[in-house]
Amino acid sequence: MKIPLSMFIFVQFSVFAITPPKGFTPLFNGKNLDGWWGLKTEDPEKWLNLPKDKFQEKWEASQVDIRKHWRVENGILINDGEGLFLSTEKNYQDFELLLEYKTVAGADSGIYLRGVPQVQIWDTTKEGGKWKLGADKGSGGLWNNGPKGTKGRDPLVHADKPFGQWNQFHIVMKGDLVTIRLNQKLVVHRAPLINYWDRKTELAKRKPLISKGPIQLQTHGGEISWRNIFIKELKPACCEEDYESVFNGKNLDGWLGPIQNYEVIDQTIRCKKGKGGTIFTKEKYQDFVVKLEFKIPSGGNNGLAIRYPGKGNAAYQGMCELQVLDNTHPRYNKLDPRQFHGSAYGISAAKKGFLLKPEKWNQQEVTVVGSSIVVILNGNLILDADLSKIDTFMADKKHPGINLKEGHFGFAGHNDPVSFRNIRIKRI
C-alpha cells in the first residue's frame, strides 16, 4: 500500500491557517472546543463499552472540566496545565497527523494515539529535572513503550526547538507502526506502539492495540499551546509486516547480473574475493523497505544498489548506491564524508560510528519513498535524505539516475568477500 511522500515532509503552516493541506481536515477550528471532549489516562475500550446513558453522563461532565482548563486565544488552543486531556470526539484508525505545540519550562506533556500513551513532550533543557527519565534525549519518542532500549521509546535524534518557539509534529500511524518527525527531523521510524493497557502482560503475549481510538492532547502540570492540528485518514494497513524474502538461502535463483562472481555459503550471499559487479533482483521496486544483515571483512567494500536499471554503475545509473564499507580501515582514512558506510555514494553523507567490528553481523533497514531514503543501522538513524534536494556532488560528478522512480535492488561488489543474509523486501 503506497504511503504518500508527505510521510517524509512536514509542511509549514501559519498560525491563522484556515485551509488544511490537501487531503487533510482540521481537528481544531481555531475558534472553540467543538469536536472535542475530555478524558484522562484511561483505557478507551472501557468507556467505548459504556451504556449510552452512562457515556452521555461522562461526556457532559468532561465538557464542564475542559472549559475550566482549556481556552482559545487568537486561533491558538491553550491549556493551563490542569484538567482532563482534550480528546477528539471522533475515533481514528490509521492516520497522518500534523500539529504544532509550544510549552514552558518544566513541562511534561504528550499526544495519545488511539487513546494509547504516548508521543512524549519534555522540557529537555532542565538538567536534573526529568533527565533521569530520558528528557535529555528530546521529545517525540514513544516513552510508554517500555524500558530503555525498546524500539521507539527514545527519539533517534534531539529535535526540540528552544522555549518560546513552535515545534512541529508529523505523525504517521499505520496498524501499530508509528513514524514521527519533529521539526522535520526523523525521531521515530516505523516503531510499534505497544499496548500500554495490557502492560502487565509479557510483551510476546500482550493484546494488540485497539483498532480505533481518539487523538488526545495531554496536560501535565505546565501550560501548553497547540495550533494547526490537521489529520488525514489513511486506508487501514494490511499485512503491514509481511516482507518477501528475495533470497532462498540455497542459490541465486531470482537474481540477475554477474552471479558467477558471487557464491552462496551457509544461507549467505558472498561476493567472491577479487570479483565484483552488481547482481540484482529480477523484480523491480518503486517505494519499498528492505531489511537485511551484512558482514564486512577488514577493509571490505560493497554497496546496496537502489532502483538499479539493470546495467551501468549502480552509484550513477541507479538512483544511488548505499555504501557497505569498513570505513574504519586505515586504507580509507582520506574518504569524502559521502563515501562512509550508509552514505548515498557521492551524494549524501551518513553518520559514522555505528558499524560493528569487521566480521560481525550488522542489521540494516532501508526505506525508500519517492526521492527520500532513510537508513537505520543497528537501531541507529544514520541517513535521512531527500535526494531531490541535493545539487552538490562529490567531485562534481553528476548522478543521471538519481530521479529514477523504479528499479531493481541489488549488491554492488568491489572485490571483497562481503556477506549478506536474511534479505527481505516489502513494497510500500
- Check: CB of residue 308 under 8 Å from CB of residue 318: yes
Cell output for 31:
475558534
Give the phi and the psi of residue 196 in degrees, each rounded to 5.
-60, -30
Average pLDDT of every residue of the chain: 91
Biggest alpha carbon distance in the chain?
77
Which residues have a Cβ under 8 Å from the Cβ of 149 and sit 6 or more positions away?
none
Fold match between domain 5-233 and domain 244-427: yes
The more confident residue out of 49 and 16 is 49
Type of residue numbered 48:
L
Hey, how many other C-beta atoms are within 10 angstroms of the C-beta on 238? Answer: 9
Least confident interval from 35-39, 88-92, 186-190, 202-206 = 202-206
Count of helices and strands (H, E) across the chain = 2, 26
The topology under which CATH files domain 5-233 is Jelly Rolls (2.60.120)
Cell output for 78:
491553550
CATH number of the 244-427 domain: 2.60.120.560
Contacts for 116-119: CB closer than 8 Å, 24+ residues apart: 116/44, 116/144, 116/193, 116/195, 116/196, 116/197, 116/209, 116/210, 116/213, 117/41, 117/143, 117/144, 117/196, 117/218, 118/142, 118/143, 118/144, 118/218, 119/169, 119/171, 119/178, 119/180
Q: How confident is the model at residue 16 (pLDDT cuts 50, 70, 90)?
A: very low
**What pLDDT does residue 267 have?**
96
pLDDT at 414 over 50: yes
The single residue listed with the C-alpha cell 556532488 is: 393
- Check: CB of residue 85 under 8 Å from CB of residue 217: yes
Residue burial 156-183, b: 16+ Cβ < 10 Å; e: rest: bbebbeeeeebbbbbbbbbbbbbbbbbb
The single residue listed with the C-alpha cell 551524494 is: 347
Cell output for 211:
483498532
- Check: CB of residue 121 under 8 Å from CB of residue 111: yes
What is d(CA 96, CA 89) in angstroms, rounded to the nearest whole number? 17
Cell output for 76:
491558538
Mean pLDDT, residues 187-207 taken together: 87
Predicted confidence (pLDDT) per residue in 362-372, tens digit: 999 999 999 99
**What pLDDT does residue 147 have?**
81
Q: How confident is the model at residue 8 (pLDDT cuts 50, 70, 90)?
A: very low
Where do the structural domains in the chain lie, given as residue ranges?
5-233, 244-427
Query: What is the model's pTM?
Result: 0.76
What is d(CA 274, CA 261) in angstroms, rounded to the nearest whole number? 9
Predicted confidence (pLDDT) per residue in 218-276, tens digit: 988 889 999 999 999 998 765 556 789 999 999 999 999 999 999 999 999 999 999 99
What is d(CA 248, CA 20) in angstroms, rounded to the nearest whole number? 47
Q: With residue 65 as reference, give the H or E element that holds it.
A: helix 52-69
What is d(CA 21, CA 19) in angstroms, rounded to the nearest whole number? 7
